[in-house]
Structure 1
């Protein structure tokens, strides 16, 4: 884990400590995915968030929003002061993304809505003959929603090659392992059967993510899905794979110092 990934994680923890609450595990598994999207893939202008030629991004797993907010601040969509307004009275940033935040295309939080909305956007862009693309990040637990698969069928039927779904496959839901709660395997096979072109990647390997996103679309007449194998709580050794770190409240000053040090010392 390089210094940029560590710095982004430390910022997430700083904001969480300041707010006194937030989703830890779901944010940490997203860091490299969002970092690569905003550093290398998405076309945008933070000074003009509604630029017509922009690529669109939807964080369907809205509870991972701390990672998104940190990237939006990093890229100049919001200020440092606005970043630290997270979950404060009259603050800009809520516990799930809303469209009042610059750079947020769609309010998310109720799981299963991001991909259906993205399909509609992709279809509209295609009809307008736009070169813009749309990306949406789903949680693996979210893929238990029927609306995800209804949207997937529609995307394949319309041959929406401008649409990329990205699954944060950390294999852990808020109350237990995904495979025990729902069971998705063979996961790649399910997406293939619904008509998507599928790739799998280590979701914490920046170089591998850059390479695979550079190959989009994987097929010219199909929507794409990237299944990112990740670790919930990545970067916090004591939180990795631990569902009790899905959400935390009232982080003490001592905990804050301990967590920041654990990120700085992380070598795996």
Structure 2
């Protein structure tokens, strides 16, 4: 799948899946899942082939955004949507954080924030040693980026010139309760990454065309790792959720669910009518 319009439709269907899952389960980190879903959709649809023994790997370091991961894995036929109501329930495959033992296509068990970049670093080092040409993509939240282990991994990846490693920052500007940069200021984030000797790409992470172009640019880089600063909107696509801290983690009422689905159905119609 390479058509931008198709990818937009898939991401929008995934947004519906996210809302459906959190609504049925009554719990979930919906805001950050909606901000990151365009990135996850594009990466899995364009870069990951589950039929390959050695393949591109994806580490969702912001593990609480599992509704986004599960939505895309449902799109790929790996999980069944009928299991959505079991999300975050005891003994469910759909745990609140990614868990490789229950879903082998999940590449890393994450959730203790700050560790995913280090996991991806190890994967990339092994791929280099084994001359595996596939890349490793790792996605962190901006609040998570305030953790020291993130910066240790950034330094080490640059030291080893891991051009098979792509670090992505879901920069939605809101952590669990406050604006991210009021807690600890990350700016100037792109300049800091460039100073670490990264090839830096700054995009609107909710603009599918920009996301796809960034993934194309990644393939042209050699001799150093890539950092994508993806400016996103927490709760993207649902009118009452966008940029509202409450929706970091919250269930939906019946009325909220209906409004969210109307918003996303209207967006689907807009995409279908695009030239």
Using the size of structure 2 for normalisation, the TM-score is 0.90
Aligned to 2:238: 236
In the alignment, structure 2 segments of 5+ residues that lack a partner are: none
Count matched residues.
262
In the alignment, structure 1 segments of 5+ residues that lack a partner are: 46-50
Aligned to 1:29: 35
Task: Report 1:139-150 matches (<5 A).
Answer: 139-150=141-152
Aligned to 1:158: 160
Structure 1 residue matching 2:200: 3-state secondary structure:
strand
1:218 and 1:118 map into 2 onto residues whose CA distance is 20
Task: Report 1:52-71 matches (<5 A).
Answer: 52-71=53-72
Aligned to 1:80: 81
Structure 1 residue matching 2:203: 3-state secondary structure:
strand
1:132 and 1:7 map into 2 onto residues whose CA distance is 28
1:265 and 1:129 map into 2 onto residues whose CA distance is 46
Q: Residues 2-56 of structure 1: CA distance to partner in whole angstroms, max 9, x if unpaired?
A: 54333211111111111110011100001111111111122333xxxxx432111
Q: Residues 157-208 of structure 1: CA distance to partner in whole angstroms, max 9, x if unpaired?
A: 1111000011101111111111111101110011111221101111011111
Q: Which structure: greater helix fraction?
A: 2
1:63 and 1:218 map into 2 onto residues whose CA distance is 31
Using the size of structure 1 for normalisation, the TM-score is 0.92
Match of 2:247 among 240, 245, 248: 245
- The answer on 1:207 being equivalent to 2:212 is no
